[in-house]
Amino acid sequence: MSNRESTDKQKIGAIGEDTACRFLVKRGFKLLCRNYRKKWGEIDVIAENGKTLHFIEVKTVSRSNVTRETGSEAIEGDDYRPEDNIHPWKLERLGRAINSYLVEKDIDEDAEWQLDGVTVYLDIANKTAKVEYLENLVL
């Protein structure tokens, strides 16, 4: 990042990604890469578990920023689910980034891989987090 201050949303996202990585490691995942970026998309976390390569999208909310994007507006409320922000255009960008990673790393086309999601609900005041693992999302 440049010399500018991180926004609150970026700070929450970074805490969420760190939390998600600790969650994954405790469950036996081997972290390979974080924030794999291309012009056409970004993968938050790339990890291995057994023989399967996992591309993981992390979505984080805190009690102070619980909003859902709906295109041109944002909705706030307790029924908000961070995974609601994994839109079709986001899945398309993830698919392109995944393909780039597979080609760049010369990963065999028969290798097992999947797209997963991790949602992190932060309670900053109480310094707690609830983490949910969403396995094998459809591109």
Q: List, in sequence order, every residue forming a beta bridge with 9; answer none if it has no partner.
A: none
Q: List, in sequence order, every residue forming a beta bridge with 38; answer none if it has no partner.
A: 41
In a domain, 2, yes or no: no
Gyration radius from the chain CA atoms: 15
In a domain, 114, yes or no: yes
- Structure confidence at residue 32 (pLDDT): 98
- Structure confidence at residue 8 (pLDDT): 85
The answer to whether the beta carbons of residues 13 and 35 sit under 8 Å apart is no
CA 21 – CA 110 distance, rounded (Å)? 26
In a domain, 1, yes or no: no
- Give the structural domain span for 87: 8-137
Coil, strand or helix: which one is 3?
coil
In a domain, 3, yes or no: no
Number of domains in the chain: 1
In a domain, 16, yes or no: yes
In a domain, 70, yes or no: yes
- Structure confidence at residue 80 (pLDDT): 64
CA 26 – CA 71 distance, rounded (Å)? 36
- Structure confidence at residue 2 (pLDDT): 47
H/E segment holding residue 92: helix 88-104
- Structure confidence at residue 125 (pLDDT): 85
- Residue 18: give its domain's CATH number: 3.40.1350.10
Q: What is the pLDDT along the chain (139 residues), one digit of tens a residue?
A: 444 568 888 889 999 999 999 999 999 999 999 999 999 999 999 999 999 999 999 999 886 544 444 444 444 455 667 777 777 888 899 999 999 999 999 999 899 999 999 999 998 888 899 999 999 988 7
In a domain, 54, yes or no: yes
